[in-house]
Amino acid sequence: MYRSILLIASVSVFAASVMVPAKPALTQQFGDERQIQFHVDQREINRGRWSVDQLSQVGLHLFSAKFTLLDGFGRPGATGNGVPTHRNIGSAPLMNRISGMDANSCSGCHNDPAVGGAGDFVNSVFVLGQLTDPVLQTIDPLFSNERNTIGMYGAGPIEALAVEMTAELLATKAEANRQAVSSGQAQTRNLLTKGVSFGKITARPDGTFDNSQIEGVDPDLVIKPFHQKGVVNSLRVFTNNAYNHHHGMQSTERFGSSQTGMDDFDGDGIVDELTTGDITAATIFQAALPTPIQVLPDNRQERDMARRGETLFAQAACTGCHKPVLELKNPRFTEPNPYNPAGNLRQQDVTRSFQFDMTKQGSGARLERSPSGGAFVRAFTDLKRHKIADAEDPFFANEKKPQGGVPLDVFITRKLWDCGDTGPWGHRGDCTTIREAILHHAGEARQSRDRFAGMSSRDQSSIIAFLKTLVSKRPDKD
Ligand code: HEC
Ligand code: HEC
């Protein structure tokens, strides 16, 4: 089955050779044990020679390939840290479940309900274990945060929303700054974007800011929708991190000589393991995955129950954080993301960004166009970080290693648009039912959780029934 996916991918790249210069097949030649048969040249993407479908096909291959030493698998001389960090060659085994390399392919973990999706508890990552690499003997939370694999269906719209929201917050900040400097008076502004409040910012006449009232986002005001902690701004940044962390496949844009002064940073004898074009392909594959969708049951009673559950979900104020819809002004996905930090392709590095319309292009269910020419993103999140545990129920405050400066009891509002087919639930994947995850809400969600807890068991089941209609993909389709 694996082999046939690769074959399909290679055939369609050939079929589309009008746009793409002839290149070798994606599949292995008989007897050759390399998974990567050719690399994508970013300059060709900049020239408009690659379509979204072609990039997605190569991206699918790079996402599901079980890399080998011949491709550059492994990082004998580097840790899994996204910030290029050396370790002594020979100090760690090739593979190690806790700090990596912990998998052969991305889809080794992201495969439920299909490639690009979520994962079973057994696929969890010991996040930050890669910094104290190698962690050989313990999964004690002192060394890593055990997190469940989450899916990338709909990740393109999520990144695009974060970009628009960031731009609005930064515009508000810039306007406050101009007013404060010109009027000589401090200016306080509400940080409001798409109906979500990120607190307030005050600009002082001397050009500095009071950031103490900012909520749910870092002081740089860049919305970071990825990681359940909300600490990474783009699929590309995550992808550069993940290839090194999980597979020791180092991208040139992060680990190449322009960044580290070395061609073979991990000392495995292979250079340019993943080119900038390869990373674009892997990113576009994820961004163009189907948009999660609501699938209502055929049975009328069940349908009515799910619809009632949606109303009750709002009545319990779940929608305060799990916003049913946020509207994108521009339905196009743009790569690279304008807020990428150094060590990742940035907008100034390309002559023209790669774009596609998420309401029209990509595979499976597409994003829904809005009457104003934008798009509705029905992801049930506000892309804001919230305190989700308290003394009465510390369940979700179970980690010990702070990530990205975010307090231990704070997580980004989980997207619920794929809740129905991506169990287990909760950031650690240790909730076997949706109900357990809801009942463990505390902190800022306590009132809402208590409303749920106070409902009749039939009403609670209706909310669960509603959440079960939200799925990454239509069964047997996409
Ligand atoms: C060993 C299992 C595993 C492997 C292998 C793996 N991932 Fe993940 N992935 C995870 C887990 C667990 C999370 C959630 C991490 C968190 O919340 O901190 C995640 C999250 C992500 C996210 C963020 C999604 C979101 O909405 O926040 C992206 C993007 C991603 N992975 C891409 C990749 C890519 C690309 C690869 C291959 C280079 C890969 N992953 C390999 C387990 C894995
Ligand atoms: C204060 C904001 C907030 C409110 C209100 C809120 N949630 Fe959440 N929700 C979150 C956060 C944050 C998470 C991530 C928790 C974690 O895993 O760390 C989450 C996670 C979830 C999950 C787990 C999803 C998964 O895939 O693992 C479900 C289900 C859920 N919420 C349902 C609800 C329901 C139902 C309500 C109303 C009774 C509700 N939430 C109210 C913020 C909120």
Q: What percent of the chain has pLDDT over 70?
A: 94
pLDDT at residue 27, as a whole number: 67
> Averaged over 415-422, what is the pLDDT?
98
Under 8 Å CB-to-CB from 269, ≥6 apart: which residues? none
Cβ(246) to ligand 1 under 6 A?
Answer: yes
Give the span between the Cα atoms of 288 and 365, in whole angstroms.
10
The better pLDDT of the pair 347, 25 is held by: 347
Give the span between the Cα atoms of 352 and 46, in whole angstroms.
6
- Ligand 2 atom closest to the Cα of residue 429 is 27
Would you say the C-alpha torsion 360, 362, 363, 369 has a positive or negative sign?
Answer: negative
Long-range CB pairs of 83-89, under 8 A, 24+ apart, other chains included = 83/343, 84/254, 84/255, 84/259, 84/260, 84/265, 84/343, 86/265, 87/133, 87/134, 89/267
Q: Convert the pLDDT of each residue in 172-201 to its tens digit.
A: 999 999 999 999 999 999 999 999 999 999
* Ligand 2 pocket mutation pick from 382, 388, 459 by most atoms within 8 angstroms of CB: 388
- Give the side-chain half-sphere CA count within 13 A for 420: 22
Q: Which bound ligand lies closest to the C-alpha atom of 226? A: 1
Cβ(417) to ligand 2 under 6 A?
Answer: no
Cβ(313) to ligand 1 under 6 A?
Answer: no
> Averaged over 4-24, what is the pLDDT?
40
Return the number of other C-beta atoms located less than 10 Å from residue 276's C-beta: 27
Q: Convert the pLDDT of each residue in 211-263 to its tens digit.
A: 999 999 999 999 999 999 999 999 999 999 999 999 999 999 999 999 999 99
Tokens, residue 276? 């900038």
pLDDT at residue 475, as a whole number: 81
pLDDT at residue 474, as a whole number: 86
Question: Does residue 20 carry a pLDDT above 80?
Answer: no
| Of the candidates 459, 112, 163, the residue with the CA atom closest to the CA atom of residue 335 | 163
pLDDT at residue 15, as a whole number: 37
* Ligand 1 pocket mutation pick from 63, 106, 413 by most atoms within 8 angstroms of CB: 106
* Ligand 2 pocket mutation pick from 196, 231, 313, 322 by most atoms within 8 angstroms of CB: 322
Give the span between the Cα atoms of 213 and 284, in whole angstroms.
36
Cβ(103) to ligand 1 under 6 A?
Answer: yes
Question: Does residue 154 carry a pLDDT above 50?
Answer: yes
Mean pLDDT of the chain: 94
The better pLDDT of the pair 49, 18 is held by: 49
Contact present, 327 and 370 (Cβ < 8 Å): yes
Cβ(421) to ligand 1 under 6 A?
Answer: no
- C-alpha distances out from residue 396 to 26, 280, 319, Å: 43, 34, 20
Q: What is the CA radius of gyration of the chain?
A: 23
Q: Quick one: pLDDT band at residue 395, thresholds 50, 70, 90?
A: very high
Give the span between the Cα atoms of 218 and 209, in whole angstroms.
14
Chain centroid to CA 319: 22
CA 139 to centroid of ligand 2, rounded, Å? 26
Under 8 Å CB-to-CB from 60, ≥6 apart: which residues? 5, 9, 115, 285
Question: Does residue 32 carry a pLDDT above 50?
Answer: yes
Question: Does residue 4 carry a pLDDT above 90?
Answer: no
Return the number of other C-beta atoms located less than 10 Å from residue 221's C-beta: 22
Question: Does residue 415 carry a pLDDT above 50?
Answer: yes
Give the span between the Cα atoms of 398 and 389, in whole angstroms.
9
Cβ(238) to ligand 1 under 6 A?
Answer: yes
